[in-house]
Chains A and B, each alone.
Chain A
Amino acid sequence: MEDLIAAEAISPPPPPAWQFAGGPPGPARTEHRFEFSGDAREYFRIWVVNLALSIVTLGIYSAWAKVRSERYFYGNTRLAGEPFEYLAKPWPILKGRLIAVSLFAIYIFAAQLSWKLQLGTALVIALATPWLFVRGCAFRARYSAWRGINFRFALNYGRAYVVYLLLGLPVVLSLGLMYPYVKAMQKKFFVEHHHYGGMPFALRATAGQFYPPYLIAWGVTVAIVFALSVVIGMLTVLVAGSGGEGPPTWFMYAYLVPFYASYFAVWAFLAAALANLVYNHTDLGPHGFRSTLKGQKLLWIYAGNTTAILASAGFMIPWAKVRLARYRAESLVVLSAGNLDDFRAESRADIDATAAEMDGLFDIDIGL
């Protein structure tokens, strides 16, 4: 369960790549809203043509599909009336996907062949993950722009290995108690290595602030599991009857439903709390952010999306994505001190140095 939370919390979906979070509302700050103008019907057409062409070309077109899809979401996300731009080209994405798919195929195949081989593959993937993560962030940031100015993610592999790999050890040793602390370190790394307009983002949240959401989530989870186990234990006796007959098979599957549903609910509330925590404590120079995601609303959206996607055999995916993007944009505000016109691009030397390294062999974007 923790893993799933972690996976989602590391990289919340749009607003893309960079993380915005709100600062303390100062008296001199002006609010600038995010708006999402995407439309489910319009995106459905783009999505279904993307999918069909990807199928017909055996996956090759999927890189072009990704660019069109990203451009759609960036281009329809506006801050203070100005759209974001996604500027990546399909070829490096295709290359990244080929590498990712082969890694994944090896892993899956190894899993079925032998657990030793799987362990070996998992180890190799684990060792490569922080590096790939940094490359992916840098790629995405470099091709994300607003008002004609590109984002940048500073390459810092050493720190990435510490926060995404080494700090796993204390988490295990402390039986998970260190997890919120490590999560905080990862967020800090992620936010503070992003730059825009010549300034780095800064995360003011302390590790201590990450504890209450997790402790509440853990406590609620334990309570729910306990309560459900009692209820289900009693139901099992009722359903099984007295004739020595076991409970019917459907019951054995049905009892998983409340467990999964409550997991889903806790997860939605935790995701909202963490996103708000990060957004609300992030600054970009004098500017801050305010995020007002509600766990209830997020749960409603996730539950509706899941149901719709399953019931429509996947054809409601565009609707689900648009719906989520709209809610995320609506819940986010930039609090600017002074003029948003004053962002300046970083010196050309900086950009060129980064670009030169990025355009090497492994200029990739992971993220299937």
Chain B
Amino acid sequence: MSDAFAGTYYDGAIGRAHAVELRGVGSVHYALVGDGVERSGPIASLRITPRLGRVARTIEFGDGARVLLAHDAPIDAWFPRAGRMEAFVDRLERHAHAIAAAVFVCVTALAVGAFWGIPKAADAVAFRVPPEAERTLGNEVLEQLDQFGLKPTTLDADRRAALAARFAALGHDGAVEYRIEFRNAPGIGANAFALPGGTVVVTDQLIVALDDDREFDAVVAHEIGHQRRRHALRQTLRGSAVAIVAAFFAGDVSSAGAIVIAVPTFLLTSHYSREFEDEADRYAFDLLSKHEESPHWFAEAMRRLEAAQPAHRRGVSSYVSTHPNTLNRIDAADAAARSFATAHPELCPHGVCPGEEADDPDDPDCDDCETDDEAPAAAPARLDCAKDGSE
């Protein structure tokens, strides 16, 4: 080898830079000369750092001494076996098509991971968690809630027993027994939530806000849907997975502040939770229909709960705000109610099911109500339309 490379030599003992030239001698030896330095030896005793951008390449002599060469010094022939992987990576970094492919891999992985990988992996774990463990977890959570915010219920025992009986009738499916807990929650307001392991917590404020026990049925049917599909545990595990992935990237972006991590994490977990809400809603519609109750009561419950929010806290911590897209959900419930009315003419003569008549007796204008999906108040009228259309 007759190549000669200009570089900067440091002996590793004193921080002085020596301008030197590194030459090949024969095919297996090197010689380093210049600026008061002279050393030589077998090339096999040298180690070189892989090429990287315009960063100088370091050759280590094994005794702490090193020489820095320009990034593009054509010296790789000296080290045919060294760092082949990183040499390959370096070629990728300098190749436009490889960069495009890498961007594609990242975008795809981001999308697939967020909408498929994390949910699938978390669910796989969730479905392996034994029911007892899940119940223990749920009890822990309830204990925690009882310590920080929930108070003993103030509903009288007869009322509770009556509601619990309705809940049991809906939730009974032979396999798993679900449990309902009543709590006074002035700080939380009208709400109901499904804990891991089969416990549904309903606040006194929710019972007060609702007007009809069939609305109560609709709300707990939704929570039973969460239980049946083990949403609480699945959401927990998905949240953990997102946090772990986010932490992995946090190192890269910490300089730009926590919000860079917080915003995408929040958006993704909200997306998962919306997915679960939709699923629980559909489950509730089916369950109500099976028990010969119209999903109309679900829409009715939603309207009641929204109206029941005190003005200053609406949208803060209400049932409605933890369940966004209230209008869409009411529309979906109304649509399910129309199907129910069609399927059960014996229960809903003229498409109007029991309890629905009083709401809006004179809304005769039905010409465009099939497309009127905005105003929840139009819902009863639409039931009339469904009748007109089907008869």
Contacts and interface: CB of A to CB of B under 8 A. Distances in A.
Interface of A: 4, 8, 13, 37, 39, 42-43, 45-46, 48-49, 51-53, 55-56, 59, 62, 64, 68, 71-72, 75-76, 82-83, 85, 87, 101, 104-105, 108-109, 111-116, 146-149, 197, 240, 244-249, 251-252, 260, 264, 302, 305-306, 309-310, 313-315, 317, 320-321, 324, 340-345, 367-368
A59 B117 CA distance: 15
Contacts of B85: 64
B310 A246 contact: yes
Contact of A13 (B50, B236, B255, B260): B255
Given A68-B52, A305-B255, 8 more contacts: A51-B106, A52-B102, A246-B314, A249-B315, A249-B321, A252-B315, A252-B316, A320-B255
Contacts of B103: 48, 52, 315
Contacts of A247: 312, 314-315
A191 B14 CA distance: 23
6 contacts: A64-B85, A245-B314, A249-B321, A252-B316, A306-B259, A368-B248
A244 B49 contact: no
Given A45-B93, A105-B240, A320 B256 contact: yes
B240 A49 contact: no
Contacts of B10: 147-149
Contacts of B52: 46, 68, 71-72, 75
A332 B315 CA distance: 49
A104 B246 CA distance: 11
Which of A48, A83, A146 has the most chain B CB within a 10 Å cutoff? A48
Contacts of B14: 341-345
B86 interface: yes
Contacts of B252: 317, 321
Interface residues of B, number: 71
B89 A68 contact: yes
B39 interface: no
Interface in B87-136: 89, 92-94, 98-99, 101-103, 105-106, 109-110
Nearest to A340: B15
B89 A53 contact: yes
Contacts of B68: 83, 85
Q: Which 5 A-B pairs have the closest CB atoms?
A: A148-B10, A246-B314, A75-B55, A343-B15, A249-B315
Nearest to B248: A368
Interface string B240-256: 10011001111111111
B106 A245 contact: no
Interface stretch (B58-66, B165-173, B200-208): B58-66
Which of B50, B109, B310, B314 has the most chain A CB within a 10 Å cutoff? B314
A147 B240 contact: no
A247 B94 CA distance: 54
Which of A13, A71, A244 has the most chain B CB within a 10 Å cutoff? A71
B11 interface: yes
Given A55-B106, A306-B259, A343-B14, A112 B240 contact: yes
A319 to B, nearest CB: 11
A256 B249 CA distance: 25
B53 A42 contact: yes
Given A13-B255, A53-B89, A147-B16, A83 B55 contact: yes
Which of B52, B55, B309 has the most chain A CB within a 10 Å cutoff? B55
B258 interface: yes
A309 B253 contact: yes
Contacts of A55: 105-106, 109
A309 B58 CA distance: 33
A56 B237 CA distance: 23
A72 to B, nearest CB: 6
